[in-house]
Amino acid sequence: MMLLNLKYFFKMTQQNWFDLDHQYLWHPYSARYSQSPIYPVTKAQGVTLTLVDGRELIDGMASWWCAIHGYNHPQINQALKDQIDQFSHIMFGGLTHEPACLLAEKLVSITPDNLKHVFFVDSGSVAVEAAMKMAIQYWYAKKQPKKQHFITIRCGYHGDTLGAMSVCDPYTGMHTLYNDVLPKQIFVDPLTHDIALDINNMRQALIDNQQSVCAVIIEPIVQGAGGMIFYSAEYLKQLHQLCDEYQVLLIFDEIATGFGRTGKLFAMEYPAITPDICCLGKSLTGGYLTLAATLTTDNVAQTISENKPYAFMHGPTFMANPLACSAALASINLLFETDWQTKVKKIEQGLQALFICNELEKVATVRVLGAIGVVELKEAVDLANIQALFVNEGVWIRPFGKLVYIMPPYIISETELNYLIQAIYKVLSLY
């Protein structure tokens, strides 16, 4: 009977397998029986997604910002083929392998000098969880076990697991219904771009909570899914000084900003400071496999390792998966081989055309940094409606809330980028 079922499965038409989506699958941030359209993809090549009906869409999202080299890249494909012929996975407890060692060396070499230790995890959310646990365990080792809380600024986003959710914006974020079960953290008012005011707000939070706070966690330069807000490097410089003054750790969440997205390899290069802990993810593997990393300093690693319980108490099953590490190595090497700075600069220049959207009544503001272009509307969009309009224009752009934004693959051509921008303007003009 099983053989018959398998034969049937492999003979299914494209429409058959697409029907299974509606029958069984639950998509992110959606109702189980949502009537919102789902678009079935049969091929992804370069910056183009091909739907089951043959329509082609220029991808402005880089699959939630991670496919920086586009899709089906031969160099990353080959790295995966080479690795899978050796082994696809081994546990990382008590064992090691070459891709993990080489990738750790690479990450240490391209990040600031003080970040010397790499802890691999499964995803960006788990990288944040690991960072938060490192900070708590650091102060436990320092005989200050009451320091278990975090300070962050409003409008931030750090992931969907419980610890990460606790440092996402509790009011305007995506997780308000969980507020009663999440650990209670300390939130500073949203950044106003008045640096003196913003720093004074942070200073007061540190003064009021110094005995219970282990770290400040923040997305440097760009707050991602919490609002796509850009802010100055000077704020981060002064924040770093505050953390030193009040003896709390500083965690940078570079999951969305890392690997060139803002115009610098890492956003922490803008203020030229090094956090105590740094989270990387998304673009790490070029969008091929899920992998993230939490990097830290000698001080944090040694303090945790030399005090009870003499180990960092975290260990994902698929930690340092060899296939994912191989993809990440290939992606990083490809980034440095292909003059990513020039590519991102050209995208930034091309994105200036988005400012034409300012003439539309429904647009509140437009902002651009590196390979990030954001059109903020005055009112939230109807996602299903506007998504269909974009697909009809031949582009894949997935807004959220009031934000229509693009973060395309770095390999996008000038013609393709212009097409994305024209589609945004046309849809917003009609919407």
Backbone phi, psi, residue 186, to 5° = -110, 125
H or E element, residue 200: helix 195-209
Considering the candidates 157, 270, 405, 410, report the single residue annotated as catalytic.
157
DSSP string of 52-119, one letter each residue: TTS-EEEESSHHHHT-TT-BS-HHHHHHHHHHHTT-S---SSS---HHHHHHHHHHHHHS-TT--EEE
Residue 274 and residue 276: Cα distance in Å, rounded? Answer: 7
Q: Among this protein's residues, is 431 annotated catalytic?
A: no
Residue 276 and residue 116: Cα distance in Å, rounded? Answer: 10
Considering the candidates 29, 33, 171, 310, report the single residue annotated as catalytic.
29
Considering the candidates 59, 169, 198, 253, report the single residue annotated as catalytic.
253
Cα 26 → chain centroid? 21
Considering the candidates 140, 231, 276, 282, report the single residue annotated as catalytic.
282
Residue 177 and residue 181: Cα distance in Å, rounded? Answer: 9
Q: Using DSSP, state whether 151 is helix, strand or coil.
A: strand
Nearest-10 crossing angle of helices 414-430, 383-392: 130
Residues in the chain, how many? Answer: 431
Q: Among this protein's residues, is 39 annotated catalytic?
A: no
* Nearest alpha-carbon partner for 260 in 284, 276, 240, 278: 284
Residue 256 and residue 43: Cα distance in Å, rounded? Answer: 25
**One-letter identity of residue 430:** L
Burial class of residue 292 in the structure, from the number of CB atoms within 10 Å of its CB (0-12 exposed, 13-18 middle, 19+ buried): buried
Cα 336 → chain centroid? 20
Strands 395-396 vs 403-406: parallel, antiparallel or unpaired: unpaired
Q: Among this protein's residues, is 282 annotated catalytic?
A: yes
Distances (CA, A) of 422 to 14, 51, 357, 390: 32, 21, 10, 11
- Maximal CA-CA distance, the chain: 71
| Tokens (6 digits) for 186 | 């300390």
Q: Among this protein's residues, is 253 annotated catalytic?
A: yes
Residue 270 and residue 267: Cα distance in Å, rounded? Answer: 6
Is the peptide bond prior to 408 cis by the omega test (within 30 degrees of 0)?
Answer: no
Residue 305 and residue 310: Cα distance in Å, rounded? Answer: 5
Active site residue ranges: 29, 157, 253, 282
